[in-house]
Structure 1
């Protein structure tokens, strides 16, 4: 056990030293939609805040609140609202980000094996064109991608292992970003005028470790996220232009540690960092590391 914790800790230290980017357009953080304690409580409230560091010294503070209703042992529905503050050389900009609605169906467990499925939507609170003093901002300062997204996923649980796959599809694009690097005085961020983002596919493997007293749970996991095409923007000539290198694979490592205060209350700490990144990240989701703390109350 000690060797496992040491190895995980060493892995994250090395990754943090060499990190180049970490992404979550929503697909990485919907894993809670596969989790349920309906056999005990019908309602769960989660309040969390996430801290992150992005490109060009942009820092992020991103709280969220979520509510899950377990209708029975099979069906649950989750809602979530996000907020984000970005601070960097352009200034500070804060805004609500997105709202999520996620439905989950869990099949009956058999031989310590259990499947569940997930269907959900993401709704933006803005058009990804937040400004400071009238000046257009790159996607790194935006609190939302400005897209209405569909989520489809499935999870397979076997003993201490969880494997889940999901796809995030931008069904309707309402992104009205107007940032051009040619007019900004810096090349730190790519042009994203009228940005259009492609879909993401995810594969995640998680292993759960519980201490003998059942108070602590450790969940090291690895996420493979494939961006299914090159993003694009409208250039200064009014022509749509693909962003070369914006497609491809991202591999993120994540360590989640939970402390069970009692049957109704728990606290969770998560640390994430990338191991492999795409060549270009125009969506503004680049992170060198992400740290989050979450409080959960069940009733």
Structure 2
């Protein structure tokens, strides 16, 4: 417990020194085998679970992001789990406010292999299904991506993870947009001829995103019904994103390719049929240009899960 309290204090303290943040997680950080927490999905015993989570985050230019999310899973056969998550995004900032249903994430996770040295492997395949086109506005003006409830894409999500012994876990993930229908209309210079710090967000008109790779490693500790996990989370954006200018000319966004390095951790407590999770994260290395609106100075999530075996 003292270790995790120290970890949370470190996250809060670090905000004083990190000024250009961006977790840049388009969904696969918490999907299936790639999720944190220091444990693999229980594919052999779980029949069904349902849960609720509440995420709070600090976005660009003092934008506040609140995301209540409904979560559920069901066992498929003896070795698989089908997971689904449906969020509601609530954004409030200097340009206005917007609330809407977020993108649906559906994944299938299966136990793959257990080696003689106690290394367990799992694999995940699924997708993020965009339920909107990121075109929400406020008072007749288009809002930039930090306010949008959808990324305006449908993405492939795939990955594998390994739990080595009792205290180490690793995950590798891949996310690739397959369908792109982002119809965002924000270009600051077109809407605000004299852009100020309040109005000058990253341009995102008709954003076309590239894919990303994830690498997570965690150390975890168990004590009675408690579990603590923490470690680095790396996300590499695989290319330069594109937007369309007012004259419909497509341009590549320099600085949108590259690495984001986050520190993430979690604290879990399990009852007989319920589980409470507290998760936190903050970035330390970010890309220069982040048009997807996923920039976060910090993120904290509390999750309640009911287990039915």
TM-score by length of 2: 0.90
Question: Which residue is equivalent to 2:87?
Answer: 82
Contact 2:44 2:80 in 1 (8 A): no
* Count of aligned residue pairs for this structure pair: 295
Question: Is 2:156 the counterpart of 1:153?
Answer: no
**Structure 1 position 293 matched with structure 2 position 298:** no
Equivalent in the alignment of 2:185:
178
State the match for 1:91 in structure 2. Answer: 96
Aligned equivalent of 2:65 = 60
1:51 to 50, 56, 59: 56
- Structure 2: how far apart are the matches of 1:85 and 1:10? 26
**Aligned equivalent of 1:245, options 255, 277, 292:** 255
CA-to-aligned-CA distance 1:131-187 (integer Å, 9 cap, x gap)? 112211101111111100001101111012110101100011011111111133235
- Which of structures 1 and 2 has the larger relative contact order (alpha carbons within 8 angstroms, sep 6+)? 2
1:100 aligns to 2:105 (yes or no): yes
For 1:278, what is the secondary structure of its paired residue? coil
> Which stretch has the larger CA shift, 67-76 or 234-243?
67-76
Q: In structure 1, how many angstroms separate the alpha carbons of the residues matched to 2:132 and 2:89? A: 12
Q: Aligned partners of 1:115, 1:39: CA distance in 2, in Å?
A: 13
Where do 5+ consecutive residues of structure 1 fail to align? none
1:139 is matched with 145
- SS, match of residue 193 in structure 1: coil
* Distance in 2 (alpha carbons) for counterparts of 1:16 and 1:119: 34
- The runs of 4+ residues in structure 1 deviating greater than 3 Å are 4-11, 31-35, 38-41
Q: CA shift at 1:222, angstroms?
A: 1.3
Indicate conservation of the 8 Å contact 2:66/2:89, yes or no.
yes
Structure 2 gap segments, 5+ residues each: none
- Report the alpha carbon displacement of residue 107 of structure 1 after superposing the two structures with TM: 2.3
- Cα deviation for residue 31 of structure 1 reads 4.5
> CA, structure 1 residues 72+207, in 2 after alignment: closer, same or farther (shift >3 Å)?
farther
Tell me, yes or no, if the aligned pair for 2:276 and 2:303 is still in contact at 8 Å: yes
CA contact (8 A) 1:15 1:274 kept: no
- Distance in 2 (CA, whole Å) between partners of 1:115 and 1:32 is 9
Aligned residue for 1:235?
245
Cα pair distance change 1:97/1:25, threshold 3 Å: same
Contact preservation (8 Å) 2:33, 2:122: no
**Partners of 1:7 and 1:66 in 2: CA distance:** 29
Measured after TM superposition, the shift of residue 36 of structure 1 is 2.3
Look up the SS of the partner of 1:286 in the other structure: coil
Note the alpha carbon deviations across 1:239-275, whole angstroms, 9 max, x for none. 1011110110000111100111x22111111111001
Determine the structure 2 residue equivalent to 1:282.
291
Seen in structure 2, the aligned counterparts of structure 1 residues 5 and 137 have a Cα distance that, compared at 3 Å, is closer
Are 1:233 and 1:240, in contact at CA under 8 Å, matched by a contact in 2? yes
1:56, 1:188 within 8 Å by CA — same for their partners in 2? no
